[in-house]
Structure 1
Amino acid sequence: MSEKARRLHVHTFGSPAGIPVLALHGVTGHGARWQPLADALPELRWIGVDLRGHGRSPWSPPWGIEQHVADALALLDRLKIEDVAVVGHSYGGAIAVHLARAAPDRVERLVLLDPAIGLDPDDMLETAEETRADESYPDIDSARADKAQRWEGIAADLVEAEVAAHLAHLGDRWEWRYCRSAAVAAWSEMARPAPTPPAGTPTLLMPALQADFVEQAWVDRCRAELGDALTVTEVDAGHMLFLERTTEVAKHIREFVVG
């Protein structure tokens, strides 16, 4: 496969002249999912990627965090961006932390939206085993209904946008556009010991109060490492907080990134 063919697929939003923001989605997600948040922050230059194994990016392995970090740095090089604010949701939050540790000179600040990092290995085994099962649908209506149930509390138009952007017709079934093997690998990566962002990195951590991904012990370690560079803002929402509480999340990001 050529180098060009291995490039991440990119979705761009907002102002080309704005502060660049690299947005990293969670497992089974895709870069277009950032559209509502980007619309609420149009002054920023949003770069929403499809992670390897997801969406329209290459699906070939390896699928580990180090590869995702390397992919992100290659993308920044391709776009000639020296330093960037990084927004990561769920697994994307874990990747964002590792990216900041691997290349602290390239990550100007971090926004971690209910990051999935350092999770319980037994829970991740159970989730990975569940992910191995078939998740396909006989028609679009079935896929839409399933997504609406999983995304309880999220507006119907956002569910519809997810269906339009992320559902693919394969053979006689409909499936979400991600590699199941890559998703299984991601749950394993989320069970790795959780590092903190490197000292001195301005970090906005936004845990979702209706989810249980962010461990208090990790937050305490982040406070010890970052001190005043860490801002913790809890959001009374489920795990998809940036879709459920877009205006609220956007307000905090604007204050943190733009000032």
Structure 2
Amino acid sequence: MAVDPSTVDPRSVDPIVCLHGITSSHTTWGGLVLATKPHGVDPHCLTLLGHGPLGARRRVDGYSLEAFVADVMAQINRLGLERFQLVGHSLGAHLASIIAESFPQRISRLVLEELPVPARSRADSGPVRHRWSGLAIKVGALSGCRRFDPVMVSRVLDQLGTPRPGWWQGLARITMPVLMIGGGTTSYLDQDRLSLVAAELPDARLIRIDGGHRVHITREAEFLARVVPFLLQPDQL
């Protein structure tokens, strides 16, 4: 659905913060930036730990997900954003979900694209369709050392592949409107698990766009048609 720029008051729209996926960068959100700027809304596209050129990337020992969250929140606080909308893809979506659980009062809307859904317990399945997917990503990451830290990739995938019962318990705290987007049959993530998460959230809508893991790139027009109207709604507070 197209949005008429004349009907959007940017003063009523909360700032947008975007978190990229693993091995990606803040530039991945170029399409979203171009789509929202005519409405007077300019998203803040952050860079995650372990990403970026060798001389500029920020590193931490272990690359815990908690360290990623703390770094994202530090960047947001430096921007002076008290209340904001959060958009995340892949790893960025998982971090966005943790932030929404931890700081629900600060987030007005949440977009989770291709969320990796961890297991509840050891008896539960993990986020990927096939166990070899994670290994393939780790091996492929070795050639990307100029753009990201391969150690980071391995540490993050290990954590996402480990049961996270606390994350599941915290989903009830995500009370803001949530738009979940799955990449359909061509994604390497288990799409059925997205439905399990949506069922736990008080106000969530799940849509599927058959574009694989990077829907915002491969099916950009469809992605923007769903996401932009969702984000440009005025804050209800």
TM-score band w.r.t. shorter chain = 0.7 to 0.9
Structure 1 pair 128/238, CA: closer, same or farther in 2 (3 Å)?
A: closer
CA–CA separation in structure 1 for the residues paired with 2:180 and 2:197: 13
Amino acid of the structure 2 residue aligned with 1:70:
A
Q: How does 1:187-206 map to 2 (within 5 A)?
A: 187-193=157-163, 195-196=167-168, 197=171, 198-206=173-181
Q: Is the 8 A contact 2:94 2:116 kept in 1?
A: yes
Q: What does the per-residue CA deviation read over 1:20-41, in whole Å, with 9 as the maximum and x for residues that have no partner?
A: 1111111111111211221122
CA–CA separation in structure 2 for the residues paired with 1:105 and 1:237: 32
Structure 1 pair 85/59, CA: closer, same or farther in 2 (3 Å)?
A: same
Report whether the alignment pairs 1:220 with 2:228. Answer: no
Q: CA deviation at 1:202?
A: 1.1
Structure 1 pair 59/203, CA: closer, same or farther in 2 (3 Å)?
A: same
Q: Is the 8 A contact 1:124 1:188 kept in 2?
A: no
CA–CA separation in structure 2 for the residues paired with 1:83 and 1:47: 13
Matching residue of 1:146: none
Q: What secondary structure is seen at the aligned counterpart in 2 of 1:105?
A: helix
* Identical-residue share of aligned pairs (%): 23
TM-score by length of 1: 0.70
4+ runs of 1 displaced by more than 6 Å?
none
Gaps of 5+ in 2: 1-9, 119-126
Matching residue of 1:29: 24
CA–CA separation in structure 1 for the residues paired with 2:209 and 2:187: 10
Structure 1 pair 125/39, CA: closer, same or farther in 2 (3 Å)?
A: closer
Matching residue of 1:237: 211
CA–CA separation in structure 1 for the residues paired with 2:47 and 2:98: 18
Gaps of 5+ in 1: 1-15, 137-174
Q: CA deviation at 1:77?
A: 1.2
TM-score by length of 2: 0.76
Structure 1 pair 203/182, CA: closer, same or farther in 2 (3 Å)?
A: same
Q: Is the 8 A contact 2:101 2:174 kept in 1?
A: no
**Root-mean-square deviation (CA), in Å?**
2.5
Q: How does 1:1-259 map to 2 (within 5 A)?
A: 19-42=14-37, 43=39, 44-55=41-52, 56-118=56-118, 119-120=127-128, 122-123=131-132, 126-127=135-136, 129-131=138-140, 134-135=142-143, 176-193=146-163, 195-196=167-168, 197=171, 198-209=173-184, 210-223=186-199, 225-227=200-202, 229-259=203-233
Q: CA deviation at 1:122?
A: 4.0
Amino acid of the structure 2 residue aligned with 1:188:
D
Structure 1 pair 67/255, CA: closer, same or farther in 2 (3 Å)?
A: same
Q: What does the per-residue CA deviation read over 1:76-128, in whole Å, with 9 as the maximum and x for residues that have no partner?
A: 21111001111110111111111111211222221011112312594465246
